[in-house]
Amino acid sequence: NAGVTQTPKFRVLKTGQSMTLLCAQDMNHEYMYWYRQDPGMGLRLIHYSVGEGTTAKGEVPDGYNVSRLKKQNFLLGLESAAPSQTSVYFCASSPSGVQYFGPGTRLTVT
Amino acid sequence: GEDVEQSLFLSVREGDSSVINCTYTDSSSTYLYWYKQEPGAGLQLLTYIFSNMDMKQDQRLTVLLNKKDKHLSLRIADTQTGDSAIYFCAESANSGNTPLVFGKGTRLSVIA
């Protein structure tokens, strides 16, 4: 079991560029989540999914889109990156309650 | 909305006990969690407690829950330098399938 994996680990973008972050889990979990972590802010929920084909907004969804076409994958998209989106992004999955986290993606937008 | 509060920093000497405190506002919180984050890594689940429990012990870790005061604590006995990390308290309501609400994390520094 690889658990929760995230691709890429690091990325630098210029303002206005787009990119997609991939989260994959091999534990057959129903629930998946995207968070961002900023210094002094803890973890803030961006979007989440309660099953294949479903998505919902979290606390800070603006500027991001998500898709869950397959149960094992949860994609986070930035259509037009802004410096305010410089952050560490964590994906998590859950069967029920306990969430299991990926190692994170460090994104810098210049 | 729900809120989870933690102190930001704690410093202890190696071998002493550490106590990290957390308060939450949601009275319907059903599950309360402690996660550990080491530098450059993701969050690792340490332990969790159901709201119908007062205490849970797991090796060096003791979790105490005061539901009346909405106060959760994590005690680490015989703290080691490897325990230096950020510790996050989190809660979820209802069945536990709702998204977690995290505190901002407590940075524990262990002095040798």
Query: Are the C-beta atoms of residues A31 and A55 closer than 8 Å to each other?
Result: no
Instruction: Tell me the nearest-neighbour CA distance from B15 into chain A, angstroms.
Output: 28
Of B8, B42, B45, the CB nearest to A90: B42
Predicted local confidence at residue A3, as pLDDT: 93
Instruction: Tell me the nearest-neighbour CA distance from B86 into chain A, angstroms.
Output: 10
Question: Do A43 and B43 make contact, defined as CB atoms within 8 angstroms?
Answer: yes
Predicted local confidence at residue B97, as pLDDT: 65
Predicted local confidence at residue B100, as pLDDT: 87
| Cα–Cα distance measured from residue B104 to residue A82, given in angstroms and rounded to the nearest whole number | 24
Query: Are the C-beta atoms of residues B77 and B110 closer than 8 Å to each other?
Result: no
Q: Which residues of A touch B31 (CB under 8 A)?
A: 97
With a cut of 50, list the residues of chain B below it in pLDDT. Answer: none
Predicted local confidence at residue A50, as pLDDT: 92
| Cα–Cα distance measured from residue B29 to residue B22, given in angstroms and rounded to the nearest whole number | 13
Nearest of A6, A99, A5 to residue A45 by alpha carbon:
A99
Cα distances (angstroms) measured from residue A44 to each of A3, A88, A106, B60: 22, 11, 15, 29
- pLDDT, one tens digit for every residue, chain A (110 residues): 679 999 999 999 999 999 999 999 999 999 999 999 998 788 999 999 999 999 999 999 999 999 999 999 999 999 999 999 999 999 999 987 788 999 999 999 99
A63: left (phi over 0), alpha (psi -120 to 50) or beta: left
Of B8, B43, B104, the CB nearest to A101: B43
Predicted local confidence at residue B89, as pLDDT: 95
